[in-house]
Structure 1
Amino acid sequence: MSLDLAESRQAPSAMTQDQPAIEVRGITHRYQTGRGEVLALRDINLSVAPGRFVGLVGPSGCGKSSLLMMMAGLVRPSEGSVAVAGAPVTRPAPERLGVVFQEASLLPWRTALENVAFPLKLRGVPRAEREARAGQLLHLVGLKGFEHRHPHELSGGMKQRVAIARGFCQDPPVLLMDEPFAALDEQTRMTLGDELLRIWDRHRKTVVFVTHGLTEAVYLCDEVVVLSGRPGEVLARIEIDLPRPRTWEMMATEHFGRLREQIWSLIRRQA
C-alpha cells in the first residue's frame, strides 16, 4: 500500500470515467412495523459519476439514510440493486465504500490514531504501515498532535474529524456520509464542511452526502438529489453550478439563494 495520499486523487484503476461510480437500479424498500408494512422507498434510480460530490435531501422520514445504507451494503433492499464500479453491492465492502455516520462511533478504549487505523488492522496491514497512514490522515484533518488522545479527550468536532479520517483510511473510491455534521454547532459545521471540501478537492473521491441542511447541500455539492416524502422517490436532480473552490461569501449571492430556494420549494410542497 502506498502512503502517498496525493496518488489517490486519480480515479482507481477499477473505475473508469465512463462507468458510474455508483448505480442504483429500481430500489424499492418495505419494512414491517407493529401497524403493518411501510413502503419507505419506491423505484429509486440514480447514477453517480466518479469524482462527483452528490447530496441527498428530502423531508424527514423520506428514506435518505436508508438509501445510503443500501448503497453501503448494510441494508438489503426489498427490490432492486446497487453497483459500485459495475460490481454488485451485497455486503459491506470497506475497501470500495467508506462510511461516515452522524455519530462518530469511535472505540472509547482506543486512541485517535488507533481508531483511524482500526479498519486496516482488521485487514491485517502491518502496524507500522497502518499507523503511518492513520497519522497522515489525522494531519490532513487538522488533528496533528492529537494522535494519542482518547475520544473522551476530544470535542465533538474533533471526533467527527477522526471519523472522517477513518472513512478515508482504506482509500475507498466512494465515501458515503450520513449527516456527519448534524450534531455540531453551526460554526463547527461550516469549518468541517470546508475541511471536507479541501480533502475532497485533493483526492476527488465520489461522495454521497445525506443532509437536512439545504445551505450545507448547496455549499458542498456538485449536484443535489431531492427525494419526495414517503415513499421516497427522486423528485429532481439539481445541478449546483457554483465555481470551485467554494467560499463562504458565495452564500450571500443571489445565485446561491436561488439554488437553495429551488430545492426548498420542492421539499416544501411535500410537507
Structure 2
Amino acid sequence: MKKVIHIYKLLLPYLWDGKQAKIATLSTLLLIGLDIMATTYFPYIWKNLISTSIQTKPTTWFLEHTILLFVIWLFVKNAFNLREISFFPVTNQAIKKIRLKTLLKVHTVNLRNLEKYNVQEIISATSRISQSIRGFMRVSFISIFPSTAKIISLSIALFTADKLCLGIIGTSYTGLLAASFCLKYYTRAKYKAWHLTDNVTTAMGQNLYNTATIRFNPKEYNLKIKKLFDLEANAWQLHNILFYLLYLIQDCIFYLGAGIVFCLLMLDYSRGIIGLDKVVLVYGLISAMRNPLVEITRNLTRFFGGIIDINKTLDILNLPSENKPLQLTNFTSQPIQLQQISFNYTTSRNLLEDINLTITPGDKIGIFGPSGSGKSTLCQIIAGLIEPDSGSVMYSNLPITQINPISLGKVLRYIPQIQHMQELAEEEHKYGINLKKQAFSGGEYQRHLLQEALQSNPQIIILDETINALDEPSAKQILTEILYNVPTVVMVSHSHALLRNMKRIFELKDGHLVEIISNP
C-alpha cells in the first residue's frame, strides 16, 4: 500500500501540470460522466421501445428512440478510446518528465548507493516505465474509476428494477472480491517473471559483449543462458495461467448468480407476474454490469503489474541525493591532499589502506598495479566521487567529497575506461530532428571523451585507464597533448611506455601506494 501511495504522489501532480494537462483532465472527467450516464440509460431505452404500444406512439417516436439507442451504443463502445485520446497529453508529459527525472537523479546519488543496480537494469527500468506509467495512469484515472462508478450506478438500477436483482448485485461483488484476493498470487508471479526477464536481458548483454571469447566455447556459455531462458519461460507461463484464472473465477461466480436470478424472473414472466419489458430491462442491466466488472479485474492486474514495473524507478527516485554544498571560489589549480585513506567494499581486508598522497599543481602522476588492486577506486576517491571509509581528501582546503560536482567540474575532469558507446547525433531533417546512432569503438569513444574534456580547459585531469583502448601511437599522441594542455595529470595505465612520460610513478599493491620513480 505504501508503494501505491508513493506512486500516486509521483503521478497525481501531472494531472494538473500546465494548461494542456488541465484541459485534458477536465475533458476526460466529462467523458467519464457521459459514459456512466449512457451505460446506465441504455437498457431503459430498450425497455421503453418494447413496452410502448405502436397504437399510442407515432412512427417518428420509434425512429427517434431507435436512432438515440444506436447513437448511445456507438458512444458507449468508443468511450474508452475517446478517453484515451483526451488523456494522452497527461500521460505523455508524465512519461517524459519522470524518465528525465530518473536519469538526472542517477547523477546525484552516491555511487555506493547505486552499486545494487547495474546500468542495464536502470536502462530497462527507464525504458519499461513509459509503458508502465501509461498503463498505470490509464488504469487508475480512465478505467478503474469509471468502471467502479458504472457498477454502482447499474447496481442501483438493478435494485430498483426488481428486488430479486439483489442476488446479481451480491454475486457481482463476491466475484470481484474473489478475483481481488487472487491478485496477490498473480502479482508475485509477475514480479518473479519480470525479475527473471531482467536477468536474461543482463545475461544476453554480457553474452553479446563477450562474443570474441564465447565463440571458442559456445556450448558451455549457451547452456548457462538456456537455463535462464527456461526459468523465465516457466515464470511467464505461471503468470499467464493465473491471469486467466482470475477471469474464470469471477465469471463463474457472476453467471451463477445472474443465471439463478434470471431463471426466477423468467418463471415470474411465464406466470404473468411481470411483463416482457422488465425481463428485457434486467437482461440489459446484467449485460451492462458484466463489462465494467471484467474491466476492473483486467485493470487491477495492469494496476499491480504497473506497480511492479515502476518500483525500480521509484526506488531510484527515492535514493537520497548527495549533499555537496561547498562551492569553489578559486578556480586556479590547487593541491589535492590524501591523508590516511582506507577503503573497502566488504568487511574483509581493506582494498586501500593508509594511503597518503599530495598531488601538487603541475604534477604528472602515473599509477599502475595488478587487476583488482583498487586503482579505479583510488581515482574515484581523488575525484570526490566516493568517500573513503577513513581518512580525508582535501582540495583548496575543502573536503573534496563536499564540493558541488558542477563547481569542481570547472577545474577537474575524471574519465574512466569505457569499452563501447553509442552516441546519438542530431541532424536537421525536413520533418524536424532526425536522431542517428553513431557506434563508437572503445578507442574512438575514449578519444571523443578526451577531446570534450580538453575543450573545457581543466586544471586537473584523472585518466582511469582511459587511453588503454587506443593503439600505442594514438595513445602517445593524445597523452602528449594532455600533458601539454593540462597542468596536473593523474593517469592509471598498464603501459610502461605511457608511464615513462609521467614525472612521478606509483605502484598500488596489497592496498598500499608506493612511489617508485620521481622525476623532477
Q: Is the 8 A contact 1:226 1:237 kept in 2?
A: yes
In the alignment, what sits opposite 1:223?
A: 504
TM-score, with length taken from structure 2: 0.32
In the alignment, what sits opposite 1:108?
A: 423
CA shift, 1:163, in A, is: 0.8
CA shift, 1:98, in A, is: 0.3
CA shift, 1:205, in A, is: 2.2
Q: How many residues align?
A: 180
CA shift, 1:102, in A, is: 0.9
From the superposition, tell whether residues 176 and 149 of structure 1 become closer, same or farther in structure 2 (CA, over 3 Å): farther
In the alignment, what sits opposite 1:175?
A: 461
Q: Is the 8 A contact 1:181 1:189 kept in 2?
A: no
In the alignment, what sits opposite 2:365?
A: 54
Matches within 5 A, 1:126-137: none
What percent identity do the matched residue pairs reach?
29
Once residues 234 and 160 of structure 1 are traced to their aligned partners in structure 2, the CA distance between those partners, rounded to angstroms, is 26
Partner of 1:208, secondary structure, is strand
Where relative contact order (Cα < 8 A, 6+ residues apart) is larger, the structure is 1
CA shift, 1:42, in A, is: 0.5
Q: Which runs of 5+ in 2 are unaligned?
A: 1-328, 427-434
Q: Deviations over 1:10-49 (max 9, x none)?
A: xx96446xx52x21111100222xxx53410011000112
From the superposition, tell whether residues 28 and 191 of structure 1 become closer, same or farther in structure 2 (CA, over 3 Å): same
Matches within 5 A, 1:146-165: 151-152=438-439, 154-165=440-451
In the alignment, what sits opposite 1:212?
A: 494
In the alignment, what sits opposite 1:68?
A: 379
From the superposition, tell whether residues 40 and 196 of structure 1 become closer, same or farther in structure 2 (CA, over 3 Å): same
Matches within 5 A, 1:242-253: none
CA shift, 1:110, in A, is: 3.9
From the superposition, tell whether residues 99 and 89 of structure 1 become closer, same or farther in structure 2 (CA, over 3 Å): same
Larger radius of gyration: 2
RMSD of aligned alpha carbons:
2.7
Once residues 443 and 517 of structure 2 are traced to their aligned partners in structure 1, the CA distance between those partners, rounded to angstroms, is 29
- Structure 2 residue 483 is matched with structure 1 residue 200: yes
Once residues 204 and 194 of structure 1 are traced to their aligned partners in structure 2, the CA distance between those partners, rounded to angstroms, is 14
The equivalent position to 1:30 in structure 2, one of 317, 337, 344, is 344
TM-score, with length taken from structure 1: 0.58
Structure richer in strand, relative to its length: 1
The equivalent position to 1:40 in structure 2, one of 351, 370, 394, is 351
Q: Deviations over 1:151-184 (max 9, x none)?
A: 41x4543322111022234332110110012234
Structure richer in helix, relative to its length: 2
CA shift, 1:60, in A, is: 2.1
1:208 maps to a residue whose letter is: V
- Structure 2 residue 518 is matched with structure 1 residue 235: no
Once residues 25 and 158 of structure 1 are traced to their aligned partners in structure 2, the CA distance between those partners, rounded to angstroms, is 36
Once residues 55 and 48 of structure 1 are traced to their aligned partners in structure 2, the CA distance between those partners, rounded to angstroms, is 11
In the alignment, what sits opposite 2:161?
A: none
Once residues 422 and 397 of structure 2 are traced to their aligned partners in structure 1, the CA distance between those partners, rounded to angstroms, is 33
From the superposition, tell whether residues 49 and 240 of structure 1 become closer, same or farther in structure 2 (CA, over 3 Å): same
From the superposition, tell whether residues 161 and 44 of structure 1 become closer, same or farther in structure 2 (CA, over 3 Å): same
In the alignment, what sits opposite 2:397?
A: 86
Q: Is the 8 A contact 1:99 1:176 kept in 2?
A: yes
CA shift, 1:104, in A, is: 6.5
From the superposition, tell whether residues 82 and 149 of structure 1 become closer, same or farther in structure 2 (CA, over 3 Å): farther
Q: Which runs of 5+ in 1 are unaligned?
A: 1-11, 112-147, 242-271
2:489 maps to a residue whose letter is: V
In the alignment, what sits opposite 2:85?
A: none
Once residues 425 and 399 of structure 2 are traced to their aligned partners in structure 1, the CA distance between those partners, rounded to angstroms, is 33
Once residues 196 and 104 of structure 1 are traced to their aligned partners in structure 2, the CA distance between those partners, rounded to angstroms, is 19
From the superposition, tell whether residues 226 and 181 of structure 1 become closer, same or farther in structure 2 (CA, over 3 Å): same
Q: Deviations over 1:161-216 (max 9, x none)?
A: 111022234332110110012234xxx23322222212421x24211001122222
- Structure 2 residue 473 is matched with structure 1 residue 190: yes
From the superposition, tell whether residues 104 and 74 of structure 1 become closer, same or farther in structure 2 (CA, over 3 Å): farther
Q: Deviations over 1:69-126 (max 9, x none)?
A: 1111211110111122333211543223201111177562246xxxxxxxxxxxxxxx
